[in-house]
Structure 1
Amino acid sequence: MRELDIASFEFARRRRGLVIVCVLLVATAGLTIAVFPSFGESDIDFAELLESYPEEFQAAFVGSVTDFSSLEGYLVVELYQLVWLLIVGSYFAYAAGSLVAGEVDRQSVELVLVRPVSRTRFVVGKFLAMLPAVAVVDLALLAAVVVGAGLIDEEIHLTRLLAVHAVGGLYLVACVAVGLLASAFFGRVRRAQGAAIGVVFGTFLLDSLTVDTDYEFLGALSLTRYLDPGELLVAGDVDWGGIAVLVAVTCVLVVLAAEVFERRDLS
């Protein structure tokens, strides 16, 4: 049994849940886009309204967006900044929390490891199983946004949208790596999943609450620091340094997960 065999088997087990997530996410995107025409016709000055909120709130739920009249700016605030970064990111961290710990909980890990496969290959195979899952969710939301924009006769910058989903996919993979490490470290699924969500959600808040404070450097611990949907979709600016950090963090976390599981006593 090799990494790809493990990945294929694990992905097949998760197909039903993946379909449900895609349906919910596409429905969310559809409803969000459907509201945009009435949003644009409103007499409310949303920019002025948001300025009345604390900077921490703006950092968490608005990001760098200042123009809400365009579909791109609206989508960043209503879809990508919160749903994508926090909810979808937490989901993948949560799902990855059961990759290794689930096998230990079910006491099926020993049946796998008696075959000619090392613990490192086992962990890598589990990680690889989540990559097509990330791709499916990413492409599902991309298609929903493109189709939704067409249905309301609104133009959207396709190149920038592709950039958001490309970098957003790397962010989700990094969230998977967070869950994988938690899964390799903890012996119980609930602990691993709780720790994974806690890290993603906690660092999201940390990044938001420390903006423009003496502790802003702590926000560097959050994966959201390296992905700004507003800069990508509205301004069209790509943070290559942030992309490099996401890739490096993912690699380090996967290596750590493999090393932790290699040293674990499963008796």
Structure 2
Amino acid sequence: MIDELDIALFEFNQRRRGILIVSVLLVATVGLTIAVFPSFGEADVDFAELLESYPEEFQTAFVGSVSDLSSLDGYLVVELYQLVWLLIVGSYFAYAAGSLVAGEVDRNSAELVLVRPISRTRFVLGKFLAMLPAVIIVDLLVLAAVVVGAGLIDEELRLSRLLLVHAVGGLYLIDCVAIGLLASTVFKRVRRAQGAAIGVVFGTFLLDSLTTDTDYEFLGNLSLTRYIDPGELLVLGNVDWGGVAVLVAVACAVVVLAAEVFERRDLS
């Protein structure tokens, strides 16, 4: 008899190589980003004035609430967390999760698994659980790389605030996984599921920035990025607990919805 943990373990083992590659690339990105900071900080540029010259939509999407790039924490928010983490890493996890169920259906192997004594709901849950260690590994490795990198250039970062960024950032990535999982249960083809998952993450990222301070700002509430602000977390140490609650609720609701969709789906 198999259960969701067996499925999670098997799925995670299948993805170890990809997780390792992504982790190495992200650690290298962190190292390169931090290595540039000393020369960046010595540049004779008024970065506050430069930021104000950008369109408001650009500031919201790629700068966030940061107004000072001369400190390492503000620099990391703009160069690493606001763009790389929220958009690129989030899109990767949504893309990866897009193949969780659709991949089985596409290969006609889902029916072979489901003839065993396991419900479709537990099957979907097992697939979701397989991605949680991947999120944790990437999250911790990037955290360690930032701490080590800051030490190598003799810059100080408040560890408590850095932990906040990665804790809430990890929740955000789990939401991205849930979005990919839902797409994977809706579409039968992997490419369609992955494309839809990336489209949702990228589209809502833009929706948040393009609707800020407009008559349509309420639409930005549909975006996950509305509930996480790396600048507030890392620079100011402020936690939006309401936003954290939304991220947790969204993850749970989307996983339940994905299981319900797959329960009602015809695999023939």
TM-score range, shorter chain: over 0.9
1:184 shift after superposition:
0.5
Counterpart residue number, 1:40: 41
Q: Which runs of 5+ in 2 are unaligned?
A: none
Counterpart residue number, 1:189: 190
Counterpart residue number, 1:20: 21
1:45 shift after superposition:
1.0
Counterpart residue number, 1:262: 263
Counterpart residue number, 2:199: 198
| 1:101-135 alpha-carbon deviations (Å, 9 max, x no partner) | 00000111011001000000000000000000000
Is 1:124 matched up with 2:125? Answer: yes
Matches within 5 A, 1:92-241: 92-241=93-242
Query: What is the TM-score with the length of structure 2 in the denominator?
Result: 0.99
1:49 shift after superposition:
1.0
CA distance, structure 1, for counterparts of residue 26 and residue 115 of structure 2:
39
Query: What is the RMSD computed on CA atoms of the aligned residues?
Result: 0.4
Q: Which runs of 5+ in 1 are unaligned?
A: none
1:68 shift after superposition:
1.1
What code does the residue aligned with 1:38 have?
S
8 Å CA contact 2:51–2:67 kept in 1: the answer is no
**DSSP 3-state at the match of 1:214:** coil
What code does the residue aligned with 2:136 have?
A
What code does the residue aligned with 1:205 have?
L
What code does the residue aligned with 2:231 have?
G
| 1:80-102 alpha-carbon deviations (Å, 9 max, x no partner) | 00000000000000000000000
Question: Displaced runs of 4+ in structure 1, greater than 2 A?
Answer: none
**DSSP 3-state at the match of 2:108:** coil
What code does the residue aligned with 2:204 have?
T
Number of positions where the alignment pairs a residue of Structure 1 with one of Structure 2: 267
CA distance, structure 1, for counterparts of residue 93 and residue 31 of structure 2:
21
CA distance, structure 2, for counterparts of residue 19 and residue 72 of structure 1:
26
CA distance, structure 1, for counterparts of residue 83 and residue 121 of structure 2:
34
CA distance, structure 1, for counterparts of residue 54 and residue 241 of structure 2:
31
Identity %: 84
Counterpart residue number, 2:54: 53
Is 1:75 matched up with 2:73? Answer: no
CA distance, structure 1, for counterparts of residue 234 and residue 54 of structure 2:
23
CA distance, structure 2, for counterparts of residue 46 and residue 217 of structure 1:
30
| 1:140-185 alpha-carbon deviations (Å, 9 max, x no partner) | 1000000000000000010000000000000000000000000001
8 Å CA contact 2:47–2:70 kept in 1: the answer is no
CA distance, structure 2, for counterparts of residue 185 and residue 15 of structure 1:
25
1:224 shift after superposition:
0.4
8 Å CA contact 2:178–2:255 kept in 1: the answer is yes
CA distance, structure 2, for counterparts of residue 133 and residue 22 of structure 1:
9
CA distance, structure 2, for counterparts of residue 63 and residue 158 of structure 1:
21
CA distance, structure 1, for counterparts of residue 96 and residue 222 of structure 2:
21
CA distance, structure 1, for counterparts of residue 99 and residue 39 of structure 2:
42
